[in-house]
Chain A
């Protein structure tokens, strides 16, 4: 067998495909015989949605209940590890997808998935109700939610130490904040990666490494993942950093999941440090039910579903008509001008940037 590149392996003419072709033809024939109109797609009993663990972890019976009530279609959810692992799995199973719909691919991994052609184009009617930030000219994948990765600070610490809250990330270079900041590693954490991109968006390619170099000299602490940063290093949980890289939704979560009822969030967000990540859903190429899959994406864009997003997995709705729960209105901000980078540029440079970051930070 000639050596195949990944490109040809994931094209629909691999070995496995030929093996299954007779079966597929038979199935198709039966399907055609069963339908009076050959071009109509039969309504499936069930659709499968693949996503990353953090989304799947918060799916419960209610999540898709009204979709099932409306269409008669059940939604089965498959967990595929972290976001990177999920995109990899989608690419590796392109010939024979594991699911009909994939949700949870974000800006940083999107071009990789698009480049491997794992999705079929779909333009939902719901895109008309997207907030203007998320509108695109053409749609392959559909934006569903967004989250801002931002520095959080421990209000109690700053009050007690009588330190001013840093107004932006330039301020973090001042001596008074030396040793007080924790970030996640960009190679092992999506929050870490997002913040590395934030510094590139802020200081451009010419200046970002210098900022990191100075932070390194100011004893910034770098940890593997969000859990270690938030529950290991944050002063609020007994650590030694009053400033950690987390999310814009963390302060309202602190209120909702507090031990004692709180009227004010114990943490705050440094607005100008926020970097925006959008998460998308797409119809996987090879699904026998593209129409039903489209309906599921329409549902995920609906006002009803969008309004459940904040309190379920703590990100924000992209539908401009969706109202935020009170906790989110009271305890956090939605940055007016979050830092962003073009996904194409990110895809092209991600690896090189991470390498450069490692070189500076690890010496």
Chain B
């Protein structure tokens, strides 16, 4: 039977398509064309360098992803299984590293003895990404119907067998989703590699920056950008094939199925939690103690002759973060609906394209904006580009957390609703939304913290003089003096606190069921 073009689906896909097309693919095409049209043949030594840099980029990303999973696994188990006092705080604290500027974490890492080695790079990657695994995976794990476990146990399965044959297969999509995000993040690592790697190490991201910005070799930078995008596309393609083969439909619970731990389990639970959080907290403790060694917090509220009142940057950051979160959530949820419910090649490539910004260098995106967005409306130095750039990086989080849940909803549920006369919109509103709400909120909260932490994506965009918390930290850190340094540390601690508060608030909304 020939498939009819469904206008409804086109309408749902329209906004995400426009967004990714106009703010990513078009600028990307323009900047790559500009670079490549200048390409003269025969770079000396390019191939050897490309192979070396490309290989390093690939293996450090794969190893970082693996290590992140190993470190995150025990904590993920604990927060996915048990109800305990402080669970909400633990879930929020684990996200804090995510918002801290690399340069701040970098100086903290150096001060505790990590520097100039591959281990420092890997440790920092784990530090930044544990939250991705814990939050993405626990959003699914905590909602597995406990009847499934009981059935298995009653037929004689050991705890290990229950995990191996019940839990693990159900978690595969969420594990793969978390892995794809951590891989992309570490694949495009920039600040960590520069600050902690010494100089033996360069990722493609670092090399693109070096060629484009320092050496003005736009053609070579464009060639490297293509290699980077090709690598990312390959990884994403493999991921999406895996994801499709391992989709399982199962009775998903709308709320958490957490239980109280037994006495023995309480011991495990708290050792796991305190060890993991303790390790993550070491660099944070350095920050806090540095921030407390003077009257730095008070100084943040005073007017500085040059950079204004530092604390005022909090309002700007929150505003950008709210806009970026709204954009990313609307676009991400619309896109996830299309991806989850329309299987096939087109849908797979749509999904893959939405993920690409996460794996594309900030230089490429920034320079793409300024060559492409001058017409019909000149957006090139607009304030809007900042939340738009944040949303480009954040949409993949919303999509990756939402799609596995939407796919898991049994199609019978939707069919049943339709057969009672529900319109597509009503099915979405009363079947999909309540079941996927929790995952969408996980994505939304990542969008918020991505914007709050102002990832590197914005550093190459021309933009008006609006200070966010991270830019204010950079300003303080770019001038000498004990007071400047202490204030930068204090502002970083405020950023961490803000992140914790916001994540806890968003998580609570998820639990009380108001969207």
Residues of A participating in the B interface, judged by any CB pair closer than 8 Å: 3-6, 9, 16, 19-20, 48, 50, 53-54, 56-60, 76-82, 84-85, 87-89, 92-93, 96, 98-99, 112, 185, 187-188, 222-228, 230-233, 237-239, 246, 250, 253-259, 267, 311-314, 350-351, 354, 358, 361-362
Contacts and interface: CB of A to CB of B under 8 A. Distances in A.
Contacts of B363: 85
A98 B479 CA distance: 28
A169 to B, nearest CB: 21
Contacts of A311: 305-306
Which residue of B378, B484, B486 has the most chain A CB atoms within 10 A of its CB atom?
Answer: B484
Nearest to B463: A79
Given A50-B462, A85-B213, A257-B481, A92 B370 contact: yes
B367 interface: yes
B168 to A, nearest CB: 41
Contacts of A59: 465
Interface residues of B, number: 59
Contact of A257 (B194, B213, B460, B479): B479
B247 interface: no
B478 A57 contact: yes
A53 B464 CA distance: 10
Contacts of A253: 479-481, 484
Interface in B439-478: 459-465, 467, 471, 474-475, 477-478
Given A6-B34, A81-B460, A224-B194, A57 B475 contact: yes
A246 to B, nearest CB: 7
B110 A228 contact: yes
A187 B371 contact: no
A79 B468 CA distance: 13
A237 B214 CA distance: 29
B475 A92 contact: no
Nearest to B482: A259
Q: 7 closest pairs, A vs B, by CB?
A: A257-B481, A224-B194, A84-B213, A57-B475, A253-B480, A250-B480, A259-B482
B199 A185 contact: yes
Given A238-B111, A257-B481, A98 B214 contact: no
Contacts of B111: 232, 238
A16 B375 contact: yes
Given A76-B464, A237-B485, A188 B210 contact: yes
A56 B471 CA distance: 11
Contacts of B34: 6, 9, 92
A57 B471 contact: yes
Nearest to A3: B37
30 contacts: A5-B37, A6-B38, A20-B375, A50-B381, A50-B462, A53-B471, A56-B465, A57-B471, A78-B465, A79-B465, A81-B366, A81-B460, A88-B367, A92-B34, A98-B462, A222-B199, A223-B195, A224-B194, A228-B103, A230-B480, A233-B110, A250-B480, A253-B484, A256-B481, A257-B482, A257-B484, A258-B483, A259-B483, A267-B480, A312-B306
A85 B481 contact: no
Contact of A89 (B195, B370, B486): B370
A4 B110 contact: no
Interface of B: 34, 37-38, 103, 106-107, 110-111, 194-195, 198-200, 209-210, 212-218, 294-295, 305-308, 363, 366-367, 370-371, 374-375, 378, 380-381, 459-465, 467, 471, 474-475, 477-486
A57 B467 contact: yes
Contacts of B195: 223-225, 228
A50 B381 CA distance: 10
A194 to B, nearest CB: 13
Nearest to B116: A221
A195 to B, nearest CB: 15
Contacts of A239: 110
A223 B199 CA distance: 8
B103 A227 contact: yes
A80 B464 CA distance: 9
Contact of A188 (B214, B366, B370): B214
A223 B475 CA distance: 19
Contacts of B370: 89, 92-93, 98
Contacts of A237: 482, 485
B215 A351 contact: yes
A163 to B, nearest CB: 22
